[in-house]
Amino acid sequence: MSEKALAALSSVIDPELRRPITELGMVGDIEETGNSVSAVIKLTIVGCPAAQAIERDVTSALQGVYDAVQVTMTTMSAEERDVLKAQLRGNKPIRHNPFAVEGSLTKVLFVGSGKGGVGKSTITANLAVALAKQGHNVGLLDADIFGYSIPGIMGIESRPTKVDELMLPPISHDVRVISIGFFVEDNKPVAWRGPMLHRAVEQFLTDVYWSDLDFLVVDLPPGTGDVAISLGQLLPGASSIVITTPQAAAATVAERSGAIGLQTGQGILGVIENMSYLEIDGNRHHIFGSGGGEAVATRLSDISGAPVKLLGQIPISESLREASDQGRPIVAENPEDPAAKAIWDIATEIAAIPRGLSGKKLGINPV
């Protein structure tokens, strides 16, 4: 097989897997005659949504080193897909939860709130995008089964690609995203009870190709119901972030969100106060009162027996609301907006918190 052709094709990245096609078994026969080449490219499935992009990139890469190029697109055999799936899983078994294994270095962040309407999903999506823009490999799991909104906020209209039983999540702003919203027709409500909810969130962990993540950010449903408990059991090493607004009533309810995490073994990373103030002509107007975020942090410090920080205060921003409604996270759309800056600073602080490697195997053997 031509080394020149392979070197050119190694620059072609699969849009869904984000790895070179030469590492994924997608390159078939290559025939080189003089300065002409023909290449066979094997897609993972029939009707692969990335087919046109891959064919375009392959053609462009080969045209950079050959005068004449012919590209034939075909599909992997079942056996070739099995090899690929095993490779993507790291030869781990089917239905494997990569975030619950000993030695996982992924920081799992549960973002929750005591009640709806405090901007939890908007903040969660923007935190994930901010972390990705800061150079981290990020996944975003929309676990708000009944009130899913992450696909809309992230501007995703495509569905996951299924390679047999393995799902390849859509990628938006370099964040891998999975949500029940991808599988519901015409905005129909989801009417499930406990066992079905548990199975759904479990599949989001075990049946999705997440890659090697630095962060898995989880948008929890508001309150302290079945999903929060199930995820606490499935992801025992997670840390919780509590979203509240400044008003006392919201702060009181928000305490419960952090407390449920303590019951299922999660530590509390911190508190974020959203809609903290409205700034007009340099003056801050506290529309929803003040002090709620600090009150929640103080109370959760008492309950947990460990310091809980107020990670940041996000001002009321019309731009933040508009960007979320339009599917364009504000940290990417308008990074100079005060709300975007506040979210960016919070993401920076979260990323700087040590992973906590105590007790983890580093895979290093002394000589």
* Per-residue confidence in pLDDT tens, the chain, 367 aa: 688 999 999 999 999 999 999 999 999 999 999 999 999 999 998 888 889 999 999 999 999 999 999 999 999 999 999 999 989 888 777 778 889 887 889 999 999 887 888 999 999 999 999 999 999 999 999 998 888 899 999 999 888 998 888 999 999 999 999 998 888 776 665 655 556 777 888 889 999 999 999 999 999 988 766 777 888 888 888 999 999 999 887 777 777 777 777 777 788 899 999 999 999 988 999 999 899 899 999 999 988 888 999 999 999 999 999 999 999 999 999 999 999 999 999 999 999 987 654 444 444 554 4
Strands (E), the chain: 27-33, 36-43, 68-75, 107-113, 138-142, 161-163, 166-168, 171-172, 175-179, 215-219, 239-244, 267-274, 278-280, 283-285, 309-314
Residue 57 and residue 119 share a domain: no
Number of domains present in the structure of the chain = 2
Which of 88, 115, 137 represents a domain boundary (last residue)?
Answer: 88
Residue 129 and residue 213 share a domain: yes
What is the model's pLDDT at position 210?
93
Residue 247 and residue 137 share a domain: yes
Q: What's the pTM?
A: 0.87
**In Å, how far are 5, 127, 187, 364 from 111, measured between CA atoms?**
46, 10, 24, 33
Residue 179 and residue 67 share a domain: no
Look at residues 304, 242, 306 and name the one whose alpha carbon lies nearest to residue 274: 242
Look at residues 347, 255, 341 and name the one whose alpha carbon lies nearest to residue 293: 255
Residue 117 and residue 164 share a domain: yes
Residue 296 and residue 210 share a domain: yes
In a domain, 172, yes or no: yes
Residue 259 and residue 303 share a domain: yes
Which of 88, 116, 144 represents a domain boundary (last residue)?
Answer: 88
CB 43 within 8 A of CB 51: yes
CATH code of 234's domain:
3.40.50.300
Residue 333 and residue 189 share a domain: yes
Strand order in the sheet with 215-219: 171-172, 175-179, 138-142, 215-219, 107-113, 239-244, 267-274, 309-314
Residue 190 and residue 78 share a domain: no
In a domain, 115, yes or no: yes
> Helix or strand or coil: residue 245?
coil
Domain that holds residue 79: 3-88
Q: Are strands 278-280 and 283-285 parallel, antiparallel or unpaired?
A: antiparallel
How many residues are recorded in the chain?
367
In a domain, 95, yes or no: no
What is the model's pLDDT at position 1?
62
In a domain, 297, yes or no: yes
